[in-house]
A and B are shown apart, each in its own frame.
Chain A
Amino acid sequence: MRRAPAIAFLLTRHPPTRVSPVMPEVARQLARRGATVEGIYPDEAVTDLTSLDPRHDLYVLKSGTDTALSVAGALHAAGAAILNPYPVAAACRDKIVLTRVLRRAGVPIPDTFVAGSFAQLEPLLSDGPLVVKPYRGSQGRGVRIVRSAGELETADDGTGPLFAQRYHAPTGRDRKLYCIGEQVYGVKRVWPVTSYADKLGEPFRVGEALREVAARCGAAFGIGLYGLDVVETEHGPFVVDFSSFPGFKGVPDAAAALADFIWEAAQRTRAGEPYSTAAHAGFTG
């Protein structure tokens, strides 16, 4: 008889005011099926790297902090199975790498530029506005539309390279696509969000064209669990952000679908099999 899998979640603790109902429900559903479920908070623990050995069949990397990613890296080095695979999660945090991987997979991406300082980007403004983002940022933090040299200078905090993309005016609300296995869920959302209701957005039926865009993103990394932000423009859709573990906010019954996916992955890793095709997609090491 098969032992039920042991699953650990690498998490960030949120202030109690923040509503984040999905992961606790996923953990409850997995436990109900018999899995041993443990929450690990790498930012609130002292992890002993000398004795760090994988004790779980699967580590689910939900936390977006650098500490959690590093601990995942150390676990990965020690042979742990991580969801999503550590090399994919690390690549997705770096927008420079992310851009190249998605563009090569035929995903529509705005023209992208990286420079050491704002002055180098200034000539590009004559062709229209740019969107400047921190190149290691996530979840829309520090994203701004830049139309003038002055705005560009303000956007350069001098801490690192500037990552800029050509701005395309949206023709409607932002589209969030959430993928869990074969399922693609769509949520329309205003940007920037100002309330929890904004975050939940409004579900919409994902058409063939966007379904194809989402599938290409997943295939590029060899993963089945991810989310992307799409802007609809006059020139068609552009993928402007990608996450290897989004919040799935506004997805009906997300917890059940996530629990199914994680359960299935843990069954595979327990048997010593890969649960993703990330290695085939070139994400190893």
Chain B
Amino acid sequence: MLVRRVPPVPSPVLVEVFELLSQRGFQVESGIAEELVVRPDRLAVDHDLYVLKSHTELSLSLAAVLDTQGARMLNPYRCCAATQDKIVAARRLHAAGVPAPRSWVTGDFSLLRSLLDETPLIVKPHRGHRGAGITVVKNASELASLTPTDTPMLVQEYVEGSGEDLKLYVVGEQVFAVRKPFSESSFTVAGRPVPVTSELREIALACGRVLGLGLYGLDLVDSRDGPLVVDVNYFPGYKGVPDVAPLIADYIEDYANGSESLSLPELEALAEPVGPTH
């Protein structure tokens, strides 16, 4: 497993998953990319399955190297890469008909002025994680005070929610929902489990299909027109989901045995045929 410990204690769910897999006879080894001197010119595939837990750029790079060497990975590297790049992910979610805020990308914030006449905006680093670097912009002076960045920014319609975060966590086909009051550090707080409506379940599984993920989480806001997906993450912390570790261990075991598989689908294959083709 490629993991990253921030804060420097392992994710509790991961510790439990390790134990369960070891008890079942798997040899489990974990590595933190940032603590190793890696030889990318020599890196070879020496495990039957790699589980990508970390979201750091270095871990993704190593995962990419393992992928070019033919390693099996959960979630698959290409699916993680498409999910991590919010710009690519936004285009995919839209293609799958997943309800999501309108999204744009720009390298020049001043061009967003005319959009601000229509809607408040939320600006996110395109490869961000856990809410870092996110700014809500409601007027021209807030726009002017944004610091120019080197990295592309995903710009979304800002949807005023109910003040609560709604998170969906998925293991294969099993969907869990938790709610918690929103705050800047709320990613560290466990929410309370709430029932999963069929609408939410449908949305969660559609995200998984179009991004090719089996272990993932979604952030949603409740808008007047229903729930909107504002973020998708591969292998989240599953905080607040009771007894999820055995389910994750089962899924990893099935994946290792080849009875589950995932891949990044071609969008054309998902599209409904429109009109005559000849």
Contacts of B88 in A (CB 8 A): 70, 73-74, 76-77
Question: A142 CB to closest chain B CB, in angstroms?
Answer: 12
In the complex, which residue of chain B has the Cβ closest to the Cβ of A124?
A: B37
Interface 0/1 of B8-32, CB less than 8 Å to A? 0000000000000000000000000
Given contacts A45-B111, A46-B112, A100-B43, contact A74 B106 (CB under 8 A): no
> In chain A, residues 108-133, which have Cβ atoms closer than 8 Å to a Cβ of chain B?
109, 111-116, 120-121
A44-B108, A44-B111, A79-B267 provided; 14 other pairs, C-beta below 8 A?
A46-B115, A48-B104, A49-B104, A50-B102, A65-B107, A66-B150, A79-B266, A96-B38, A97-B65, A112-B41, A113-B39, A120-B37, A160-B57, A282-B68
A145 to B58, CA, bound (A): 22
A48 to B102, CA, bound (A): 8
The interface centre, meaning the residue of B40, B78, B85, B111 with most chain A CB atoms within 10 A of its CB, is B40
Residue from the list A45, A49, A97, A113 in contact with B37, Cβ < 8 A: A113
> In chain A, residues 50-99, which have Cβ atoms closer than 8 Å to a Cβ of chain B?
50, 52, 65-67, 70-71, 73-74, 76-79, 90-91, 94, 96-97, 99
Contact A114 B58 (CB under 8 A): yes
Question: A111 CB to closest chain B CB, in angstroms?
Answer: 7
Contact B38 A67 (CB under 8 A): no
Given contacts A99-B40, A285-B82, A285-B264, contact A135 B90 (CB under 8 A): no
B268 interface hit (Cβ, 8 Å): yes
A67 to B68, CA, bound (A): 24
Contacts of B150 in A (CB 8 A): 66
Contact A77 B91 (CB under 8 A): yes
Contact A50 B103 (CB under 8 A): yes
Question: A220 CB to closest chain B CB, in angstroms?
Answer: 9
A52 to B93, CA, bound (A): 12
B residues touching A (Cβ–Cβ < 8 Å)? 33-43, 57-58, 61-62, 64-65, 68-69, 78-79, 81-82, 85, 87-88, 90-92, 94-95, 102-108, 111-112, 115, 126, 150-152, 154-155, 263-264, 266-268
Contact A44 B61 (CB under 8 A): no
Contacts of B155 in A (CB 8 A): 46
In the complex, which residue of chain B has the Cβ closest to the Cβ of A98?
A: B40
Question: B214 CB to closest chain A CB, in angstroms?
Answer: 16
Contacts of A149 in B (CB 8 A): none
Question: A89 CB to closest chain B CB, in angstroms?
Answer: 13
Contacts of A222 in B (CB 8 A): none
Top 9 nearest A-B pairs (CB, nearest first) are A43-B107, A285-B78, A116-B34, A67-B152, A74-B91, A96-B61, A67-B107, A70-B87, A73-B88
A161 interface hit (Cβ, 8 Å): yes
Contact B58 A161 (CB under 8 A): yes
In the complex, which residue of chain B has the Cβ closest to the Cβ of A113?
A: B37
In the complex, which residue of chain B has the Cβ closest to the Cβ of A97?
A: B64
Question: A231 CB to closest chain B CB, in angstroms?
Answer: 16
A70 to B107, CA, bound (A): 11
Question: B31 CB to closest chain A CB, in angstroms?
Answer: 12
In the complex, which residue of chain B has the Cβ closest to the Cβ of A161?
A: B58
A101 interface hit (Cβ, 8 Å): yes
Contact A114 B87 (CB under 8 A): no
Contact A96 B64 (CB under 8 A): yes
A120 to B85, CA, bound (A): 29
Contacts of A91 in B (CB 8 A): 64, 68
Contacts of A94 in B (CB 8 A): 61, 64
Residue from the list B58, B78, B102, B266 in contact with A160, Cβ < 8 A: B58
Interface 0/1 of A35-49, CB less than 8 Å to B? 000000011111111
A76 to B81, CA, bound (A): 13
Contact A101 B68 (CB under 8 A): yes
Given contacts A70-B126, A97-B64, A111-B41, contact A42 B105 (CB under 8 A): yes
